Amino acid sequence: MATRYDAVIVGAGHNGLVTAGYLSRAGLKVLVLERRYVVGGACVTEEIFPGFKVSTAAYLCSLLHPKVVSDLELPRFGYHIFPKDPASFTPLPDGRYFFLWQDSQRNLAEIAKFSERDAGLFSAYEDFLSRLAAVAEQTFTMTPPNPLPRSLQDWGTYLRLIPSLLRLGRKDLLAGMKMMFQSVRDFLDERFESDVLKATLATDGVIGINGGPSTPGTAYVLLHHCMGEVGGKRGLWGFVEGGMGGVADALRRSSEAYGSITRTSAPVARIRIRDGRALGVVLENGEEIDAAIVVSNADPKQTFLRLIEPPALPEDFRRGIDHIRMEGCSLKVNLALSELPNFKAYPGNGPGPQHKGTIHICPSLDYMERAWDDTRQGIPSREPMLECCIPTTYDPSLAPPGKHLMSIFVQYAPYKLANASWDEIRDAYADRVIDILSDYAPNIKGAILDRQVLTPLDLEREFGLTHGNIFHGELSLDQLFFLRPLPGWAQYRTPIRNLYLCGSGTHPGGGVTGVPGHNAAREILRDWRKLK
């Protein structure tokens, strides 16, 4: 007789693996089914060039929640992170450059090169964000209450929020509320005058977002990127040893140590439903698997519009899912290099600080604004913002001796193009990206040994991300907290009994956080204990 599982998880993205880790620790018999040949979803390492271990999609880690790291004993299963310092390097077309470091005193001296006034204000800015992030972060591991409380649990969540909000104090609270609605441009213009400082900081407000620096709500996205930490230091980002797959592999080992089974190359075709209750799944090869509960790590559109027959869902729910804004606008280029880029603004191709931070090719907010304006006409930015990283300067084991990897995260690349298809323009556009980078580091073209280009269409095809959206749905105010994925359905449950969501399309959203998977597991176990 076929095995019956307590829980089948559709997708071994890092959140699916987090849920598997918690459920298997609670004693459930868990099966994880992944459509790709490898686990991790967008948090993965792949040998796409012989001898190079590439973080093909996500490339930096900070947001992975410390509770998840410790509950699931990730260091014991091989997870290690190298803190990034400097945080960033921004070369400018006029030959100047700008660093941000982990050391506050060094930052003040660096900012003062461009504005004494801004240097004087920077510590207060960092402290404000830190206080706000500490409160916002508390909401991360909460199950969002219903907007209109329906249960004691809802009231309890609201009550738990009050002391932290009060602790913020009136001034921070008001500035924080304003920030939630502001554009990142307005937020930074209110505080600083230096263009390079504002452009460097603003990147976090628009990365992965279908909006420009003047789009309301982008200031919150900046805050979202400050929620994390590395080694206990807030806001610090780092490179995972072995690439981002180091997170997924540790999660897989952690759940398998408690009996969870992971199957790769096992695409789910359909979630089986009878009388409004999930019964299991059917794989694309026709194999049927029974389970008491089904958990989907796929994004909400994949889950409800592809894996479930329309009559099984209430019409208004289906329509709501169909209208979640989920447009991709980012493109990734992964390069294998024979040597490091030699920047005109900071010469040298032995490993130096210019190679160790996130390299921002985006000299001003106006540059960013123009990049976004192109996208609104349905064309990829003629002068895109580039965010580049060289993980081999921390972890040489990722490449053959003396060779390097460089990731280039490119914005904006709209999923829907006005007059072309991505299959037609993929290579020409990647050439354009390299041309722009070579204006700053002229040796780059000659150093390229191999390259991979992932357009939003490729992100959809390869990683199953609807329209190439890297966060399973935009991180806009109308799609966050108790509105994610839909108002009234933010508690990881769905209109189908025993079917749950655990991916980034749920609160608190995208990024390698593990938090949707953690919160979903808590709600699943709450229901499971009632069932037993």
Ligand X SMILES: Cc1cc2nc3c(=O)[nH]c(=O)nc-3n(C[C@H](O)[C@H](O)[C@H](O)COP(=O)(O)OP(=O)(O)OC[C@H]3O[C@@H](n4cnc5c(N)ncnc54)[C@H](O)[C@@H]3O)c2cc1C
Tokens (6 digits) for 218: 């982008």
H-assigned helices in 441-514: 444-447, 456-463
Q: Cα–Cα distance between 277 and 255 in angstroms, integer?
A: 26
Pick the closer one to ligand X by CB: 35 or 360. 35
Nearest to 475 by CA among 467, 465, 483: 483
Pick the closer one to ligand X by CB: 11 or 205. 11
CB of 281 to ligand X, least distance (A): 8
Pick the closer one to ligand X by CB: 471 or 528. 471
Q: Are 450 and 50 in contact (CB under 8 A)?
A: no
Query: Residue 412 forms beta bridges with which residues?
Result: none
Q: Are 358 and 89 in contact (CB under 8 A)?
A: yes
Q: Are 8 and 24 in contact (CB under 8 A)?
A: no
Quickly count: other Cβ atoms within 10 Å of residue 440's Cβ.
Answer: 23
CB of 59 to ligand X, least distance (A): 4
CB of 231 to ligand X, least distance (A): 16
Pick the closer one to ligand X by CB: 213 or 510. 510
Pick the closer one to ligand X by CB: 119 or 312. 312
CB of 348 to ligand X, least distance (A): 26
CA neighbours within 13 Å on the CB side: how many for 531?
12
Pick the closer one to ligand X by CB: 179 or 512. 512
CB of 121 to ligand X, least distance (A): 28
H-assigned helices in 37-115: 66-71, 104-112
- In our burial notation (b when 16+ CB lie closer than 10 A, e otherwise), range 411-427 reads bbbbbebeeeebeebbe
CB of 162 to ligand X, least distance (A): 30
User: Which DSSP symbol is given to 26?
Assistant: T
Pick the closer one to ligand X by CB: 332 or 404. 332
Pick the closer one to ligand X by CB: 36 or 355. 36
Q: Cα–Cα distance between 285 and 525 in angstroms, integer?
A: 30
Pick the closer one to ligand X by CB: 110 or 474. 474
Burial of 350 (0-12, 13-18, 19+ CB in 10 A): exposed
CB of 152 to ligand X, least distance (A): 29
Residue nearest to ligand X (CB): 13
DSSP-based three-state secondary structure for 28: coil
CB of 299 to ligand X, least distance (A): 7
Q: Cα–Cα distance between 423 and 119 in angstroms, integer?
A: 46
CB of 30 to ligand X, least distance (A): 15
State the residues that interact with ligand X by CB under 6 A. Answer: 10-16, 33-36, 41-43, 57-60, 63, 267-268, 297-298, 302, 307, 332, 459, 463-465, 470-472, 503-504, 510-512, 516
